Amino acid sequence: METLSDLSSPPSGSGSVRPRGLSLAARITLLLLTVVAGTSAGLAWFGRQTVLDTFAAKEVDLVLQNRTILEQFIAVKLNFLQASTTDWAAWDDFYNYARGRYPEFPARHLGPATLDRLKLDMLLVIDARGRLGAGEVRSPDPNVGTDLVALLRGAAPYDAGHHARGPSVLPVAGSRETIAGVISTRHGPLLLALRPISRTDGSGEPAGTLVLGRYLQAEQLFSALSVLPAQVIVHGSRRHALSTEMHVLAAALGRIPGGSSLVTREDDMSDFRLFRDLAGNPAFILETRMPRTILATGRATVQALLLGLLVAVTVTLLILSTLIQAIVSAPLRRLTRHLLDLRESGERLPTPGRERRDEIGALARRFQELESARHADQARLEQLAAQLAQAQKLEAVGQLAAGVAHEINTPTQYVGGNIRFLDDAFSTVTILLGEITRLVRAAGDGFVPVSALAQALSAADVDYLQAEVPVAIRQSLEGVERVGEIVRSMRELTHPARDLIGTHLNRVIESAVRVAGSEWQGIAEVCLELDPDLPPVPCLAGSINQVIVNILVNAAHAVEAVSAERPRGSGRIVVATSVDDGAAVIRITDNGSGMSEKVRAQVFNPFFTTKEVGQGTGQGLAIAHSVITRHKGSIKVESTPGQGTCFTIRLPLAPQAEGKEGDSPGDSAAAA
């Protein structure tokens, strides 16, 4: 029986027991890290998308704003040309000049100064027969005027490869309307206005057509922009001719309402606006190109914010981890260390944390009470344990194993019930700790409201937990001690040695055969084929003895199961030893009932048995597997239904270094 007195010394072969896995603080920190990281990642993604979408929309607004500014700029220039043309064409002096009655007019009113004042590139007069008359042109090309007249008459489009001969756009005879618009020339887009020349009062026949025009320059458009940086490209100008690709784009823009389209790229974005000439043909495409500096700035801003968020989350987690370490983990580690020291030394030591007024303090005080009781009863419990151990050594292996399953099942049931209660209680304590943490943070440097704290304690029903949790813990410990008592009883049945000692394995086998004699005598003949040259094997002799006994008992039962179908005395069990590849090999073969593949795969599983209730607990072969695994050896089984079974045990002849634990029972059975 394992009792509280067993805490004074570690179990056989276990050494110093240390907590395994992550600490409580590490688990809480990991949980907080997971929650905070997931929340931060979601917020970061949402914020990034929102910020970048906002910046991208702002860029689009700026490009559209540029388009509006340029459209307004061109409209203002056309309105100015239209107004100037209306004034000049209805001027009596200019009418007389066009009729040839005022030869002094050019010297007085025309010339470069007039073009500069009106911000014009040309002032032309087309006579009634559609030929170029007088005028002023600011261009080194002497044919500019002639070419323009041909274009206005629809006689010679400069891009004949794309436009066919068009209609005349000159005002019809008798019209007093001023026409303003754009026309594409070989020198680029030209803003112009046309009006028949007449007297101020409108009397008399028209003296021709007045044409005022100015070329559209990208530099002028760029100077009109208020949103920078931006680049203005006039496709159809002398610098950027209207290429085939631009004609395709113009055709596509012509099918879009408003004749405009926005194209976004990774580094910049362009707004294309189609302008048509007086004949309705594409005159030029105005491209406003702007780098995506706003979006780039947005990306940099988001990255800086994410970095700041990462730093803030990291600092917060470090602070929380430190607090958890100081408030929860460190006291629990001190209490655990106290338990380990108590187990190693056996001395009565003051339990740390008794002065705390929380659950950890309650646990420490309760343990102090248990420790006091342990020391008071230590002598009596040790005497009882010694007497029980002596009595168990006198019992037969089969008698001990008969009630193991029932004895373990009873304490396991109420231990499970108590653990489920403790799980619910810990959830309540966790909620209480969270509420207290919230109140402490809300209080800052001030005091936590007593009413709020009392309300939190009342909601958690602390009095009930303080009364019932220690009871559940005590009952669970008693149940665990009971299970440990059963396991210890089975272990103490074997040899008490703890160290691997060179052992004559043949003698151990002979001893096991003698111990199990009552099981096989009268049922089968046991034949020993032992290798006389078998060297000493490092092992625990008592444990190996128990393994051999368990297998012999099972073999005797298997032979007995088919004894009614065979001649009397035909049962046979052979135990042989040999040396193979640096290992001692033990083979135990019987000609009993054998086992199916399904049974063979489970024979090493704890509590698995094919016997009737009360005749077997399923522990014999499970214990055998555990013993052989601790020896760094292997145990396999081969069986044929109706013919018999062979168990093969391999034990290394040289002590093996500590490594990973052996396979599970199911794995060993499957490997067989």
Task: Report, as an integer, the average pLDDT of 274-303.
Answer: 80
For residue 324, what are its two tokens? 């958890």
Specify the pLDDT at position 482: 61
Of all residues in the chain, the percent with pLDDT exceeding 90 is 7
How far, in Å, CA of 363 to CA of 361, rounded?
A: 5
How far, in Å, CA of 650 to CA of 9, rounded?
A: 32
3-class DSSP string for 338-380: HHHHHHHHCCCCCCCCCCCCCHHHHHHHHHHHHHHHHHHHHHH
Task: Report, as an integer, the average pLDDT of 387-398.
Answer: 42
Helix (H, G, I), strand (E, B) or coil at 13: coil
Specify the pLDDT at position 155: 67
The 8-class DSSP code of residue 289 comes to: E
How many CB atoms within 10 Å of residue 582?
9
Specify the pLDDT at position 581: 87
Fold of 90-215: Beta-Lactamase (3.30.450)
Lowest average pLDDT, out of 194-203, 295-304, 579-588, goes to: 295-304
The 8-class DSSP code of residue 326 comes to: I
Specify the pLDDT at position 320: 78
Torsion angle, CA of 657/658/664/668, rounded to 10 degrees?
Answer: 0
Lowest average pLDDT, out of 336-345, 526-535, 540-549, goes to: 336-345
pLDDT surpasses 60 at 214? yes
Q: What is the pLDDT of residues 135-170, one digit of tens each?
A: 888 888 788 888 888 888 876 554 544 444 567 778
Would you kindly state where each structural domain of the chain is located, as residue ranges?
Answer: 4-17+332-492, 90-215, 221-291, 501-671
For residue 315, what are its two tokens? 């600092």
Domain 501-671: what homologous superfamily?
Answer: Histidine kinase-like ATPase, C-terminal domain (3.30.565.10)
b vs e for 70-83, b when ≥16 Cβ sit within 10 Å of the residue's Cβ? beebbeebbebbbe
In terms of pTM, does the model score above 0.75? no
Q: Which residues contact 148 (CB under 8 A, 6 or more apart)?
A: 122, 124, 183, 185, 190, 211, 213
Bigger pLDDT: 491 vs 173: 173
